[in-house]
């Protein structure tokens, strides 16, 4: 097989618009091909992410792949052989640090001239709240711990500089691409490849993986404790969401994430974020110059 030029790895972070990006890439699959970039079709989940590929190297909680690394790489190779594209793009926010795997390292060395790694980043306090929302709403996770607990468990993961430095030590800092999260994240991502965003015939909103109404988070955590299975969990969760529409906002009295807490959390990362700005020449001031807002929710003991 002819050696390809570049392997692009879009590795996250989670909750930075990755689902919207993946949907848009798939929608413009032919545009990517016209630019000589293959977005593999056989390694996708229904959401158009390459999670099966990523999870074959390292599972993530309840999520696992039906392939091992050699099988995933062989599947990728077969699709590469059948394509004239000179580059390949893989996108999964569940991606591990691939270069710990000898099979992956050898595969890249044999079939690619270079690797570029793409990161999408977001203000850490916002990402933490969005991740909390994702875990609470997911019937396969049913996250019961506090937001503080989640923060402490993910301190290292949320240090963008230290994690990106690990990748750059392998691929070179010149091959690191960082995109700050915004409402234009899909456009910003496509811009890397000189591709203009096209709307689809279906709903063009970038809200691909809708969150719970934030005010329902603590209530869902509390009331779904009795759920015996996923179906009952979803029934309780959806019932809370529907009934919450009739609950006055004055009932949002339980403080989930105060402004001082958010500011302190983000301040912890300010030095490492500045270091990341320095090595990538990317302006990350937008991560912290947005206004903070107290996050209040319906009290978990509210009778619903």
Average pLDDT, integer, range 273-286: 89
Average pLDDT, integer, range 123-144: 96
Full-model pTM: 0.94
Quick one: pLDDT at residue 287? 78
| Dist. CA 44–CA 57, nearest whole Å | 15
Confidence of residue 304 (pLDDT cuts 50, 70, 90): confident
Quick one: pLDDT at residue 93? 97
Average pLDDT, integer, range 113-133: 97
Residue, of 6 and 62, whose pLDDT is higher: 6
User: Given a cut of 70, is residue 241 above it in pLDDT?
Assistant: yes
Average pLDDT, integer, range 239-260: 97
Quick one: pLDDT at residue 207? 58
Quick one: pLDDT at residue 202? 57
Quick one: pLDDT at residue 201? 65
Q: What is the pLDDT of residues 147-165, one digit of tens each?
A: 999 999 999 999 999 999 9
Contact 124, 266 (CB under 8 A): yes
Quick one: pLDDT at residue 200? 75
User: Given a cut of 50, is residue 81 above it in pLDDT?
Assistant: yes
Average pLDDT for the chain: 94
Residue, of 203 and 238, whose pLDDT is higher: 238
Quick one: pLDDT at residue 208? 64
Q: What is the pLDDT of residues 195-230, one digit of tens each?
A: 999 997 655 444 567 889 999 999 999 999 999 999
Q: What is the pLDDT of residues 258-276, one digit of tens each?
A: 999 999 999 999 999 999 9
What is the percent of the chain with per-residue pLDDT over 90, rounded to a whole number?
Answer: 88
Quick one: pLDDT at residue 204? 47
Average pLDDT, integer, range 110-138: 97
């Amino acid at each position: 097989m002819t050696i390809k030029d570049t392997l692009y790895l879009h590795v996250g972070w989670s909750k930075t618009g990755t689902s919207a990006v993946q949907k848009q890439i798939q929608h413009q699959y032919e545009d990517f091909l016209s630019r000589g970039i293959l977005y593999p079709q056989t390694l996708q989940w229904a959401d158009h992410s390459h999670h099966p590929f990523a999870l074959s190297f390292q599972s993530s909680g309840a999520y696992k792949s039906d392939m091992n690394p050699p099988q995933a790489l062989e599947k990728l190779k077969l699709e590469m052989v059948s394509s004239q594209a000179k580059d390949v793009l893989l996108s999964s926010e569940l991606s591990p640090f691939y270069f710990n795997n000898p099979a992956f390292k050898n595969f890249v060395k044999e079939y690619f001239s270079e690797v570029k790694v793409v990161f999408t980043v977001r203000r850490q306090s916002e990402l933490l709240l969005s991740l909390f929302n994702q875990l609470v709403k997911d019937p396969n996770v049913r996250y019961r711990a506090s937001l503080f607990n989640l923060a402490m468990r993910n301190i290292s993961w949320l240090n963008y500089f230290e994690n990106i430095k690990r990748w750059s030590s392998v691929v070179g800092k010149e091959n690191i691409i960082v995109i700050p999260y915004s409402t234009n994240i899909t456009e910003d991502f496509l811009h890397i490849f000189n591709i203009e965003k096209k709307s689809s015939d279906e709903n063009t909103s970038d809200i691909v993986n809708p969150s719970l109404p934030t005010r329902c988070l603590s209530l869902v955590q509390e009331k779904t404790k009795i759920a015996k299975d996923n179906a009952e969990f979803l029934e309780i969760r959806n019932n809370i969401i529907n009934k919450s529409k009739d609950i006055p906002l004055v009932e949002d009295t339980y403080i989930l994430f105060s402004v001082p807490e958010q500011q302190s959390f983000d301040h912890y990362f300010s030095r490492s974020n500045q270091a990341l700005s320095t090595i990538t020449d990317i302006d990350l001031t937008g991560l912290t110059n947005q206004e903070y807002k107290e996050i209040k929710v319906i009290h978990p003991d509210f009778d619903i």
